Amino acid sequence: MRTSDFNYHLPEELIAQRPIRPRDSSRLLIFNRATGEIKHQVFRDVTKFLSAGDILVLNETRVLPARLHAKKIPSGGSVEILLLNRLSERIWEVIVGGRRVRSGLRLQIAGGPELTILKEAGKGKRIVEFAEPILDKLEEIGVMPLPPYIHTPLREQDEYQTIFARVPGSSAAPTAGLHFTDNLLNEIRNMDVTIAKVTLHVGLDTFAPVSEDSPHNHPIHQEWCQVTKDAAEMINQVSSSGGRVIAIGTTSVRTLETAARSTHGKTTIHPYEGHTGLYILPGYRFKAVDSIITNFHLPKSTLLMMLSAFTGREKMIELYEEAIRRKYRFYSFGDAMFIR
């Protein structure tokens, strides 16, 4: 298996720059793994492919407005801060954009507190300490961090936030969830389809393509995730009753499969809280997930490799080529695929 096996050519004009309105009017490619049938729908028609007794598993992480503007003290030189991981109440791992940003440097955040660069953390990262806690101030002073392939500014901050986002902590949105509206979720609930929520805080490394010749040599990134006792019980009940566990997005897949690694007997998953380094490549045997709703991902990405493990590599590349032929919109604000 080579990294080049997961490459494909995407015309630049198919990279979605804005979310479609309303959210559930995006397109949806339906792939039936059992029959090989492909259908093309509108996302709100996903209800036609759900059944009473199924469960949808959503990631309720909330994207932090984590891009901050700052000035050096005392020179006043401009610096940009991107928050990555909160290590304690006032200490964060960040990326700092600017010249001569050395340990001991003090910065003044625009509209916020001072911070001090404590040390380098490798790969352009720094450990910094804020003069006071900043998490609760981010909605006022921070800017939403967009993926590098989106060049059009947001009209509203919440465009890059799912409607069920609740737990702050992500550097990027779980984009398969962006297609849902309140009306669609209510319609799904009325079909006796259960909705469970888990949390995985998405890191920026999710956008990093695999650069090694072999995917096995890629250092997979760690992300914090949680499956509560209540969510695990709901999922296990559906699974034991013959319903499908439908993961909304690769983040939910990674969370559920992480929680399923230590299972035994009839239990599908256990409650879990902590970091996951689960790396899903073709050959992996899924324990918890029966179906996936997902967006279209970057070439040579670990996310595309994960989906290839679910369908087979050749079939996944075929589906992507079909989506390109039909001019589906790709990546974070793009269209979706339901792998049944």
Domain range for 12: 3-63+155-339
Quick: pLDDT tens for 7-55.
999 999 999 999 999 999 999 999 999 999 999 999 999 999 999 999 9
Q: Please give the Cα distance from 299 to 301 (Å, whole number).
A: 5
Domain end, chosen from 141, 175, 192, is at: 141
Where does the pLDDT of residue 101 fall: very low under 50, low under 70, confident under 90, or very high at 90 and above? confident
User: What is the pLDDT at residue 49?
Assistant: 97
User: Within a domain: residue 315?
Assistant: yes
144 CB burial (10 A radius; 0-12, 13-18, 19+) = buried
178/207 same-domain check: yes
What CATH code is carried by the domain that includes residue 81? 2.40.10.240
pTM for this prediction: 0.92
150 part of a folded domain: no
Q: Flag whether 148 is in a domain.
A: no
**How many domains does the chain fold into?**
2
Residue 263: the pLDDT is 60
Region of poorest pLDDT, from 216-225, 226-235, 291-300, 323-332: 216-225
Give the residue from 141, 171, 195 where a domain finishes.
141
Indicate if 32 and 76 belong to the same structural domain.
Answer: no
Look at residue 318 and tell me if it is in a domain.
Answer: yes
Q: What is the CA radius of gyration of the chain?
A: 21
CB 109 within 8 A of CB 141: yes
Tell me: the pLDDT tens digits for 242-261? 999 999 999 999 999 999 98
User: Where does a domain end: 94, 118, 141?
Assistant: 141
Q: Are residues 256 and 161 in the same domain?
A: yes
Flag whether 179 is in a domain.
yes
**CB hemisphere CA count around 257 (13 angstroms):** 25
pLDDT at 86 over 90: no
Same domain? For 258 and 241 the reply is yes
Q: Which pLDDT does position 268 carry in this prediction?
A: 80
Residues 256 and 231 both lie in one domain:
yes
204 and 335 in a single domain? The answer is yes
